Amino acid sequence: MDTIYVKAGVVVQSRNTLFKTLLIIMVIMVLSGCGKSETSEQKISDVAVSESMDQTGTEESEESMETTEEPEEQDFEEALSETAEAESESSSGRIQTPVKIPDLSAAGNTLFNLIGQNTDAQSEGTGILEGWELLDSAELDFNEDGIPDYVGVLDNFSQEEGSFYPRILFAIESTEQDGYRLSFQDANLIRTRSEGGVFGDPYLPMTAEGTSFTTNSYGGSAWRWGESKTYTYQEGTWYLTFSEEFYGYGDFTTSEEINNWETGVGIRRERSDDFDEMEKYWEGEKEGYDIEYEIALEEPLTLYQAGMRWWLSTDRRTDWEVTSVKIAEDVKISEDQVVYPSQGFRGYHDEDGIFYGFSAPDSRTSYLARYSFEDHSLSVLAESEGSIDYLGLEYYKGKIYYTTDIFEEVTYRTKREESGLIKEEQMVGFTLNRMNADGTEKEEIFEYRYPGAEQEIMEFYPPYLALNYEISRDEIIMEVYVGNEEPHPFYRMNVDGSGQRQIGQVPR
């Protein structure tokens, strides 16, 4: 069975799930630190190379393994569990406590003076901005009165130990009688200095034109990512109207995502991240992508919704009070065993609440729970003997979509055993499931099984398997990640699982 270890509320699992943990750790440490969002498709090539080395089965590599004394499995897994805990907390800012940001609602003129570097007129809001400095600003006229308006970013350079300071994005608009007033403030949308990975501070200057402004960031290390997001003022509300993200090795782009909410069309482009393939194009960009497709976009999010749904926004949250706990009828766990969201493994979240995972002490069962921001209630919705992919969870039109792993006993060849064979449980596939928000009406809508696992004796153990998917306009687009040596097929289907069809693949 797949064993779950719990260290400070971080769920870590052995074998294939342990490999998932390594995947996340190496993204954090080696590739991009806090790179593309968890809902974006990321190609973890360093891990894929490691997986390839494990599966090549060459005489040299296997002889080396024979002469190397292996650590006891329990010690090895516990060590990785502790590492996962440290890296997960460090990457998300959970080791530090997010500070409560100042309320800028009465600081419109103070912010205007700060932007204009007019330090003589600080009468309004004195002390509100103590410790905060202007990082960037841009001029526009979003209320279209012919008088300049401004957007800006505040930063706090305090080095107070144990504290986490978000950056504050804000906008002020001109008024006829009161000078300037605050249009909005948001502490979720701008990356901090520590959220750029090895590259360092990911912040790039914002731009503005007409009634729109664009934020930009860039980070990573050898594997790099970039993102830009445009917000537009329409009839008194700010909306996210355009976004663009890319991911790749150096100057070689392997993944690109463009969303234009004004046209309602999103574009997705993917290339192989195999190093042999990329080396052919070090001196110039490869023409075309291995797969390119369009999706119909939902209605645009408001700026507030976009901030609340951004994958790092929960690291900025200061209020995790729980007022009530409800457990679904088919979930077998006592209330005193429930792990609260501040200590759980956080997944999908929006302006209403967050879904997260945990396992009870001394239990092999994974649990899925939801926490409401409005009434601070907690609901335990589902349990699974296999792992639940909390990072890959989605919530769409009242339904929760989540994947669970399929484990079966397989036999594969190895030179690490005298018999030349190992027989054990391994992950051989996964299912995509959905259920109502209250945990009822659970159903499986997609299943993938690795074809090679059907062999009586496999040449190597099954490759790492994962499902990346996106839901929009009642359609699901999926990429099946099949290790480092095999193509990754892409599928489209309706949200109920009907109409499934393959639309292409990315070669390895």
Q: How confident is the model at residue 34 (pLDDT cuts 50, 70, 90)?
A: very low
> Which of 246-250, 335-339, 458-462 has the least mean pLDDT?
458-462
Read off the amino acid at residue 24: I
Residue located via tokens 């200095």? 193
Residue located via tokens 């065993």? 337
Residue 38 pLDDT > 60, yes or no?
no
Q: What is the number of helices (H) and of strands (E) in the chain?
A: 7, 28
Read off the amino acid at residue 396: Y
Q: How confident is the model at residue 186 (pLDDT cuts 50, 70, 90)?
A: very high
- Residue 97 CB neighbours (<10 A): 12
**Cα dihedral value 153, 157, 161, 167, nearest 10:** 0
- Residue 137 and residue 154: Cα distance in Å, rounded? 9
Digit-coded pLDDT (tens) for 336-391: 999 999 999 999 999 999 999 998 777 778 899 999 999 999 999 988 876 778 88
Quote the pTM value.
0.80
Nearest Cα to Cα of residue 400 among 418, 384, 419, 420: 384
Digit-coded pLDDT (tens) for 398-421: 999 999 889 999 999 887 777 789
The β-bridge partners of 377 are: 324
Residue located via tokens 């349990």? 383
- Residue 239 and residue 242: Cα distance in Å, rounded? 9
Nearest Cα to Cα of residue 385 among 409, 406, 416, 354: 406
- Residue 486 and residue 462: Cα distance in Å, rounded? 12
Digit-coded pLDDT (tens) for 193-231: 989 989 899 999 999 999 999 999 999 999 999 999 999
Q: What pLDDT, on the 0 to 100 scale, is given for residue 15?
A: 33
